[in-house]
Every structure is written in C-alpha cells, then in structure tokens.
C-alpha cells in the first residue's frame, strides 16, 4: 500500500460525479482518516476550497515534483 503523508499533492484517478470531480483534478492530502483512507482537499487557483472528500489510495496518484531515488 502506498504511504501518503499530509500535504502531499495527489491527482484523482476516477470521476466522482456526486462530488462534481473529474479524473485528473489535483488535490492536497489533509490527513489520514484510517489505514489507506485520506481526507483530500480540492481548491481553485486562488486557494478557495471547492471539495473535501475522503478517498482511498487506489483512487488517487501521488504526484512527484522532484526526482525520486527509487526511479533513478
């Protein structure tokens, strides 16, 4: 299971029509609610939150902004 820490940036891997979210939207992890379940906040370009959703690790992909030692 992928470990995701608070403040990590993630991308949504599936559409969530009930939340008005589309695959590919980017959010920030706020906290781990249970093993493998995270509260994720989605905000617009000025920082206004438009959704806060509990998601499983299989519903998101952690984004990396720096080269990973494992990937090298």
pLDDT in tens, 13-64: 999 999 999 999 999 999 999 999 999 999 999 999 999 999 999 999 999 8
- Residues with Cβ within 8 Å of 28's Cβ and at least 6 positions away in sequence, in order, are 7, 8, 9, 10, 40, 41, 43
What is the pLDDT at residue 71?
59
Q: What is the pLDDT of residue 11?
A: 97
Note whether residue 71 is domain-resident. Answer: no
Residue 41 lies in a domain: yes
Provide the pLDDT for residue 1. Answer: 52
Domain span holding position 48 = 9-62
pLDDT-based confidence at residue 3 (cuts at 50, 70, 90) = confident
72 belongs to a structural domain: no
Strand-pairing partners, residue 25, are none
Residue 4 lies in a domain: no
| Separation of alpha carbons 31 and 6, rounded Å | 5
* CATH code (residue 45): 2.30.30
What pLDDT shows up at residue 72?
A: 54
């Amino acid at each position: 299971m992928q470990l995701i820490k608070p403040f990590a940036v993630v991308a949504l891997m599936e559409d969530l029509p009930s939340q008005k979210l589309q695959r590919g939207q980017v959010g920030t992890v706020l906290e781990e609610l249970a093993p493998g379940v995270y509260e994720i906040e989605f905000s617009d370009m000025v920082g206004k939150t438009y959704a806060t959703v509990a998601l499983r690790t299989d519903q998101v992909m952690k984004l990396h902004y720096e080269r990973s030692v494992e990937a090298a």
